Structure 1
């Protein structure tokens, strides 16, 4: 008989949150080894909820062999702290309520989302279900909150750190997704026993996200729909949120209003996604007549391959202070389609090290806008050379060998079964 595994997932398919997609891959990738159940919210990543999910207190289904328990949460605005906190608290409290009604589980798996609450849910589930706890830290909080100055009360931040350290100590295994995050964990427990831990990179499904020719009908249609034909496209794809200094970077983008590549193509900066700073970026674009900038909605999962392949170069960025705190998973999608990277990342952060070790892009330090501008100009000057294509090939080759879905999920299975 399979051992039972419970996963707490704030967001889960069909929500487009990157952590939700990662957890879907994990749940479905581990279902042959474990009897997997997921507790998640009703689809709500954009803040709104369909009417069909406003009728009951609980929704259950089986999705691709995984048992899903969806719990209701209030709608929210990503620009409103109060509404977001209410949404997170509703998930936390309702997930605890559901947990109390479950029987024994062998393992509980949780991630660091929602901030602090994800770990606390895991500890609660461990005690209620008699399970071993695996706590996967995708983002360290309160460090992330403090780095972006989203919240500044030092007393509250101290309590949050204490609570999250408690979750780490109560875990049978802490998994981080980057070498720099391992150092943060060690520094938290400096002079004390560091919790049992392991580093496993995130991934992309190389069977779903892979290189396509520019003549592919899906790529051609995407470019046509958004007026990108015959342009040199520098793309940002993902959450347009607080942790990426996009408000600073759009001022660099403004300097390329009339830019062309060495082979004569106009340059366009495409931002694909949504998030709390999107409105600010749109307002800046409109106020500065930036025809070189286009904003595109999130793409459905089955269309993501076309949007990612449409770019000539991809941004992979984090704000200053995020080193050791968060690892931008968008890098794996970029490598998946074999495109070069313009990185804005702190030195010795996980993805900066990967880009440097692989040789698949050029990187600037966050806040060094002069260097960011120079790197963009380098790509424009080399637009028709083979060097860009070679960068992309190196990234894709490394991903297939080391960062593919089955490789990373296999590491998770081995780590859990070894407990």
Structure 2
């Protein structure tokens, strides 16, 4: 099978969609799939193009068996709604040029990762001209995220955007996404059930395990064995609403053993640092993104993990950071409404994590205090068992490749019947 991936994000980005795309494509190659990826230069979550990728037009490279075509795009230093739209539009244009340069090197199937839906029109046009199979893989529902978080009004603009989204989604041969609630959302947007594929994010359960010792990293960062580390690791953007964590740190500042550690980068990291300084929070620490080989130690170091989201974001965005927390057997506090998938998982798997009301400082403070009183020195067996049975990387990718093969062969047989 020849597969073409089209996405904004790709390795060596260390978090989110880029990390998963890189792992997915390399796993495909290991399983005999010929893979090309049309992607942007690495820039996320720092919102700064990595060194070595800053001065080029288009750049091709082979990385671990994957043919990569890097396409230029606008990356704003300060992210606003207008600048983000321009950012997405420039990649849609440049990646479209790269795609149509391959008219005579057509794959069997093309996977477009959302975000960004801006790329859908040219992707569907290319597929129509070449007769290939198309899959839309939804990591984030962009339209839902934008309007759910109040970044744009919920009036006529929202209605038009949702109609365009519905029309574009209907053009794909299959739509995959990372959670069952997101599959239901896609169904509500008009995607027939037979077109839907459950393709969840995964964890390398043999690498991220509860057996890892985090004490060395804890000591390197100046924390004692008596300290209780409350960790947020990942992207620091507007949709997380991380200001609430600083408010919780302020409320718990009298307990000198509780240390709040932010690890990562993102659009609002400078804002968070300024806020922490203004509040004179000596119990808050900021660390940069860590290399993948240190992630198991980082997760093992923490007593409590935070998965923070604003109201209205949980069903549009299933946080990818949670998969590794579960694989590590971490004790997590997750902010999500009860009727979201995160809320339902907690009910179905009691003890897997603590799900609390989003955007409630008092509830978050109480949850942290309660978790600290519990024995968090032992790993969370419920979380680890869930990861082993539901999040194993090889099982998930093998199942997805099998489904792609079925769809591609079915479309090929249909095309022959028409002829």
Same-fold call, TM cutoff 0.5: yes
- Post-superposition Cα deviations, 1:155-185, rounded to whole Å, max 9, x if no partner, equal 3333322222122211111112112112222
TM-score for both structures, normalised by structure 1: 0.89
What is the alpha-carbon root mean square deviation over aligned residues?
Answer: 2.2
Q: CA deviation at 1:411?
A: 2.0
Q: CA deviation at 1:305?
A: 2.2
2:346 paired residue number:
355
In the alignment, structure 1 residue 36 sits paired with structure 2 residue 38: no
In the alignment, structure 1 residue 206 sits paired with structure 2 residue 196: no
Q: Is the 8 A contact 2:174 2:197 kept in 1?
A: yes
In the alignment, structure 1 residue 312 sits paired with structure 2 residue 311: no
Number of equivalences: 401
2:91 paired residue number:
91
Q: Is the 8 A contact 2:202 2:393 kept in 1?
A: yes
* Equivalent runs, 1:46-65 vs 2, <5 Å: 46-50=46-50, 52-65=52-65
1:22 paired residue number:
20
Q: CA deviation at 1:365?
A: 1.5
1:377 paired residue number:
369
1:236 paired residue number:
232
Residues 323 and 54 (structure 1), Cα distance of their counterparts in 2 relative to 1, 3 Å cut? closer
Q: CA deviation at 1:307?
A: 1.6
Partners of 1:193 and 1:181 lie apart in 2 by: 14
**Structure 2 unaligned spans of 5+:** 408-419
1:176 paired residue number:
177
Partners of 2:118 and 2:204 lie apart in 1 by: 28
Q: Is the 8 A contact 2:3 2:36 kept in 1?
A: yes
* Equivalent runs, 1:10-409 vs 2, <5 Å: 10-31=8-29, 32-45=31-44, 46-50=46-50, 52-102=52-102, 103-114=105-116, 116-152=117-153, 154-189=155-190, 196-214=195-213, 219-230=214-225, 231-259=227-255, 266-358=257-349, 359-382=351-374, 385=375, 389=378, 392-409=380-397
Name the SS for the 1:16 alignment partner: coil
Q: Is the 8 A contact 1:233 1:269 kept in 2?
A: yes
Residues 411 and 86 (structure 1), Cα distance of their counterparts in 2 relative to 1, 3 Å cut? same
Higher mean C-alpha displacement, 272-281 vs 121-130: 121-130
Q: CA deviation at 1:100?
A: 0.7
**Structure 1 unaligned spans of 5+:** 261-265
Q: CA deviation at 1:149?
A: 1.6
- Post-superposition Cα deviations, 1:366-388, rounded to whole Å, max 9, x if no partner, equal 13333222211111212xx3x66
2:415 paired residue number:
none
Partners of 2:302 and 2:234 lie apart in 1 by: 14
TM-score for both structures, normalised by structure 2: 0.89
Higher mean C-alpha displacement, 37-46 vs 155-164: 155-164
Name the SS for the 1:242 alignment partner: coil
Name the SS for the 1:159 alignment partner: helix
Partners of 2:285 and 2:35 lie apart in 1 by: 41
Residues 176 and 388 (structure 1), Cα distance of their counterparts in 2 relative to 1, 3 Å cut? farther
Residues 124 and 18 (structure 1), Cα distance of their counterparts in 2 relative to 1, 3 Å cut? farther
